[in-house]
Structure 1
Amino acid sequence: MGMIAGDLAAAALAHWPVLARELGLDPASWRAAPLARREDGRVARILLRMEGPGGARLVMKHEARPEDPEKFAAAMAAHLAVQEVYARGVPEVLAFDVARRACVMAYLEARPLSGLLEGAPLAAQGALLSRAGAWMDGFHRALSGERRVFQPRHTLRFLRGVIAEVVSGERRVADPQRFLACAGAFCADQALYEGRETITAQTHGDLHLRNVVMDERRCWGLDFAGGRVVPVGHDIARLLGDYAILHAPKAAIPEGEVLPPEVQGAFFEGYGLVPAEDPSVQLLLRNRVLAEWWGLPAKAEDRGPAQARRWAGVQALAGRVFPGL
């Protein structure tokens, strides 16, 4: 078997023979090539493209850190639950080993939505997010919950706790006075989201832009985090909030809104389970801006390049969502 350099890759390849034999494959007849990796203080994860006889391709994933077999098992269970009811929307998991925190999946000739959006003009961004909306619509319908009255108090109770921690100094955030002004204005609008219905579904749990991949025709979801049955706005806000912070042209966003109207309209052309005006969507989109704010390091010198970019996006977006603050 061909080898690639690196301790993380070597750790992954050490598990390949067991998984290959489970699939009835000769492990020695396959070569490995790097596909993606993440390695920081919290996570060490690698994806390898395995190339075998006759041009066959598979993906092997290994999570070296965190060393948490229960979490890995939960992620596999979440993926398999979606695979059972929405097979066209996920890459097929072919084999996995919880103790080794490794799995083998079908190979997709696809790119992450994050990369496709990078530098794309507004119309192209809308077209991509319309496709992502259609994928999410199918996912939520496959594991739908019920129609219920949305309860904004749960989200806002947590936010008020964060506000109290910032005021007391227990929690540090960048530009705390502006954060408190924006968060206070948001809490004051609680009545706008009360007494209105939404729809629940089994959610992804971590639906950022890198966890949706596409080719020219199809779209798939990855790395299901075993989300709860909650209002669908949780997944929608996670995905569209990520877009608004990192990719949306801020000048195209009207004051008081989170998204350019063209992009919001395009997404909800693809996603039809709830409309753009759904209370869970509108509240959780705005809360996402604040959650990203309090989740970033307070000091500029403590932010890496990706965090610095996200911070710049949060600040620019906050100026549109909370005008005058």
Structure 2
Amino acid sequence: MAQTRDPLLRAALADWRRLAPFAGLDPAAHLPEPLGRRQARGVARIVLRMRAEGRSDVVFKRVFRPRVDPGWAAGLQTQRAVRALLPGPARPAPVMLEDADAQAAIFGWVPGKSLNAHLLLKYDQPVQRADALRRAGDWLAQFHAATDAGPVAFHASPVQLRLSRLMARAEADPAAIVDADLFIVLAQGMARFARAAQGAPVQCAALHGDLTANNMVLGVKATTAIDFCTAVTGPVLHEVAKLLADIAARFGVDGVPRADVQAFEEGYGARVRHDPVFDYLLRAQLLFQWAALGPMGRPQTAFTATRIEKVQGVAKKLMRPQAA
């Protein structure tokens, strides 16, 4: 395996060589292809596709952080449980090996492209775009049905508390969040949506934890999710709102693309638009995305600058009085 000067990649490959034999793999027979990496706030993550001629590819994921995150192992626990519950074409990749102390894992390879890649490639092809969103909705419906925990009355207080903390941070340091004044005004406007959602019935099931357009994979026949991040049960509309807010932040211009939501609903088998809990959580997810895009003054990539513009545009559209 070729040497590299990239310290993050070098450290990950050292762990790969150490762990691969325990999964029955020859570490020297696989060549790394970077799939993704992220570095922020003292945490670094790298994901590699390990290719081997004449053998099945695998995925190696390594997270570097000062302390072990219990959520990391919880995500693997959920992935295993969901794989046992769902039918073949919807099953997540098998977890072949994990090292909890190193926060490293080896997964089977899931062929296909992310939902985000499908939507980008089919940006001007409404029929194919709608088919990808229907497939995403169908997978999420299967996931929720397989882990159904029954209905509960929705409580908005945990979300409102998180928004209150973000507002307090923005008020204490206006540079902490991009366009802090506008963020605070929109976050204050969430109270009326919280009141409408409070007490409404909502179905509960297992939650993925980080369901975005990049964490769903669509192949020729199979559709599934990757990067499970939690082992908790909660209102399913948290997942629906997070996914559709992510899609809106990537592809929305003046609000949430109506055709995208309609296609997703056809696959999901339930109407979410105008559900008071969904309406509330969709707006909350957009504000959470806004706050996560970093402080004022941080150097921005073209992607981040575009993302900020779209998140703000969609959030402002949804917070207008007529959107209530």
Q: Give the TM-score, by structure 1 length.
A: 0.85
Query: How far apart are the structure 1 equivalents of 2:175 and 2:47?
Result: 36
Contact 1:114 1:210 (C-alpha < 8 Å) held by counterparts: yes
Give 1:262 shift: 1.5
Which of 276, 291, 295 is 2:292 aligned to? 295
Hey, what does 2:57 align to over in structure 1?
57
SS of match in other structure, 1:209 = coil
State the alpha-carbon separation in 1 of the partners of residues 75 and 301 from structure 2: 27
Q: Is the 8 A contact 2:174 2:181 kept in 1?
A: no
Partner of 2:220: 216
1:278 aligns with 2:272: no
Who is 2:124 aligned against?
121
Letter in 1 for 2:92: V
- 1:92 corresponding residue in structure 2: 94
Match of 1:75 in 2: 75
Instruction: Check if 1:315 corresponds to 2:312.
Output: yes
Output the CA distance in 1 between the equivalents of 2:134 and 2:31: 34
In structure 2, runs of 5+ residues without a counterpart are none
Distance, in Å, in 1 between the alignment partners of 2:66 and 2:267 is: 36
> The residue matched to 1:50 in structure 2 has which SS?
strand
Which moves more between the two structures, 63-72 or 125-134?
A: 63-72
Bigger shift: residues 283-292 or 169-178:
169-178
Give the match for residue 261 of structure 1.
258
Count of residues in correspondence between the two structures: 316
- Pair 1:260–1:56, CA change in 2 (3 A): closer
Q: Once structures 1 and 2 are overlaid, which stretch shifts more, 220-229 or 168-177?
A: 168-177
The alpha carbon displacement at 1:296 in A equals 2.9
Change (3 A) 1:77 1:216: same
- 2:281 is paired with a residue whose SS is helix
Cα RMSD over matched residues? Answer: 2.8
Counterpart pick for 2:134 among 130, 140, 146: 130
Which letter does structure 1 place at the counterpart of 2:98? F
* CA apart distance, 1:73: 2.6
Aligned-partner Cα distance in 1 for 2:24–2:193: 59
CA deviation map 1:201-232 (0-9, x unaligned): 11011112211111122212111111521111
Q: Which runs of 5+ in 1 are unaligned?
A: 254-258
Give the counterpart letter for 1:84 in structure 2: A
| 1:54–1:242 CA distance, 2 compared to 1 (3 A) | same
1:161-172 alignment, distance < 5 Å:
161-167=165-171, 169=173, 172=176
Identical residues among aligned pairs (%): 28
- Native 8 Å contact 2:93 2:107 kept in 1: yes
SS for the counterpart of 2:149 is strand
Given that 1:206 and 1:225 are in contact with CA atoms closer than 8 Å, whether structure 2 keeps it comes out as yes
Matched-pair contact (CA < 8 Å) for 1:268–1:275: yes
The 8 Å contact of residues 300 and 308 in structure 1, kept in 2 or not, is answered as no
SS in structure 1 of the partner of residue 214 of structure 2: helix
Amino acid at match of 2:257: P
Identify if the C-alpha distance between structure 1 residues 37 and 163 changes in structure 2 by more than 3 Å, giving closer, same or farther: closer
- Whole-angstrom distance in 1 between the partners of 2:171 and 2:276: 28
Moved more, 152-161 or 89-98: 152-161
Residues 1:9 and 2:9 are matched in the alignment: yes
